[in-house]
Amino acid sequence: MYRTSLLTTSLAVATLSVSAMAETVNAEQQNSKGTDALKPVIRQNSQGFSEYIKDKLSIHVESNHFDWKGKDDNSKGKQTFTPVTVTYRENNIDLGIRRAHINSKNETPKREGEVTTLSDSNLSLAYTQPLSKKTSVRFSGEWNLPTGKATLDSDEKNAMMDGGLVDQVRFGEGLNITTGASLVHNVSDKLLLGLGYSHTWLGTYDPNLHVSGDKLNPGNQDHITLQGQYKGDRYLLLGGATYTMSDVTEFGHKKYYEKGNRLDTNVTGIYALTDKDRVTLGARYSTQKPDTYVNRITGNFEKESRNVNGDSVYVYGEYARNWRPKHTIKFNASYFDIDANSYDFSSDYYNAGRNKVTYGMGYDWQIMPKLMANASIKRYEVTDKASFTTGKDTEYQGWNSQVGFSYNF
């Protein structure tokens, strides 16, 4: 909303300038002084408008395509996700808006389903206020506007595919609002520390078409984040942790479940081997406490006896080389593993875990000083480990291709 107001104001100023210019034209014509005198006025107004966007406005467009299939069965699906992001920076204020086009198609026999829609709209606003030469505070707000497709019929639900195989697992939600603040302190020229807190209000939405009284009200969330950054002569170290606490999720105005508190930790290192070669290594570890559900036997809302959530580890590596001016080629690989949860092997709640291996390459091209293009292609292999029901591992294979353009005005 603030982005729209600012841009509208800019356009209004330009409109007033054009009106003033028209009045100048009439005056000059009446005085028979010719139109040559108007050229500086036109040039001045044109330059005035460009000042509102020069080095402040940027746009990024990309398209991600996923194509996967089961290794031992007929399951398969595709998804194309095309987001457009516009950002505007003016002094200490950052504004952003993002929306995407989604086409998701499950081609598995007897489970076919397709959804083509625009996504929810995401608006963001942040303001940074320096407190001293070494310390600043940043206030931020983010709004998810329910402009996508949250309510689906039976066939469309089949288009909601696993997050390990595609990018978008939902096509719309409710009105979500996140507000937060973070404090950043430069301990030294090399070390920077940050501490932040945010609260997310998750809005109600109706996930099922032709079903009444089934609205889903996700539990609100609180996030506490600690981040650090250390910069050496040829390297950069980043690390931190986020602790998330969730409220009760309601379904049909009744208690449904409550997620256990979650801890996510991460560390990333970037090292410049030479002026043209760079290596990036990263790792993330996540753990979550037991959830709370309605007991199917007693009907009470109580914490589960075991933990349905398995711990997860993610490691990532990339090598990048500027092999010629304005051209960078990248090779990367990652491994993601979710441990089995703590339920017995024969339990309905048991999940044996999964792993995902991804490897590929990318290319960045600085076409012009203000125009950047990038592309990548990745191969991924997902393995759901054997459970009591399946009796063997279930494997999937897929490709992810991406192309994007960024322009800074």
Rounded-to-integer distance, Cα 63 and Cα 78, Å: 13
Q: Is residue 45 part of a domain?
A: no
Q: pLDDT confidence of 72, banded at 50, 70, 90?
A: confident
Helix, strand, or coil (residue 52): helix
pLDDT of the residue at 50: 77
Q: pLDDT confidence of 171, banded at 50, 70, 90?
A: very high
State the average pLDDT over residues 252-267: 96
pLDDT of the residue at 24: 38
CA angle 357, 246, 194 (to 5 degrees): 75
Rounded-to-integer distance, Cα 87 and Cα 98, Å: 9
pLDDT above 60 (res 303): yes
Q: Is residue 133 part of a domain?
A: yes
pLDDT above 80 (res 129): yes
Q: Which two tokens stand for residue 372?
A: 């950047």
Calculate the average pLDDT of the chain. 90
Domain that holds residue 122: 55-408
| Sign, CA torsion 281/284/375/371 | negative
Of 18-32, 100-114, 179-193, 289-303, where does mean pLDDT reach its minimum?
A: 18-32
State the average pLDDT over residues 180-199: 98
- Percent share of the chain, pLDDT over 90: 79
Q: Could you tell me the pTM of the whole model?
A: 0.85
Q: Is residue 211 part of a domain?
A: yes
Q: Please provide the size of the chain in residues.
A: 409
Rounded-to-integer distance, Cα 180 and Cα 177, Å: 10
Q: Is residue 15 part of a domain?
A: no
Q: pLDDT confidence of 46, banded at 50, 70, 90?
A: low
**How many independent structural domains does the chain possess?**
1
Q: Is residue 11 part of a domain?
A: no
State the average pLDDT over residues 218-225: 98
**Beta pairing, strands 312-324 & 301-303:** unpaired
In the chain, the N- to C-terminal Cα span, in Å, equals: 21
pLDDT of the residue at 16: 34
pLDDT above 50 (res 356): yes
Cα-only R_g, the chain: 26
Q: Is residue 14 part of a domain?
A: no
pLDDT above 60 (res 261): yes
pLDDT of the residue at 388: 83
pLDDT of the residue at 51: 78
Tokens 């570890």 belong to residue: 285
**Backbone torsion region of residue 190, taken as left when φ is above 0, otherwise alpha when ψ lies between -120 and 50, otherwise beta:** alpha
Q: Is residue 269 part of a domain?
A: yes
pLDDT above 70 (res 127): yes
Q: Is residue 166 part of a domain?
A: yes
Q: pLDDT confidence of 45, banded at 50, 70, 90?
A: low
Which DSSP string do the residues of 301-314 spell out, in sequence order? EEE-SS--PPPEEE
Tokens 């090779």 belong to residue: 331
Rounded-to-integer distance, Cα 179 and Cα 200, Å: 7
pLDDT of the residue at 208: 94
pLDDT of the residue at 315: 99
* CATH number of the domain within which 367 lies: 2.40.160
State the average pLDDT over residues 231-236: 96
State the average pLDDT over residues 287-296: 94
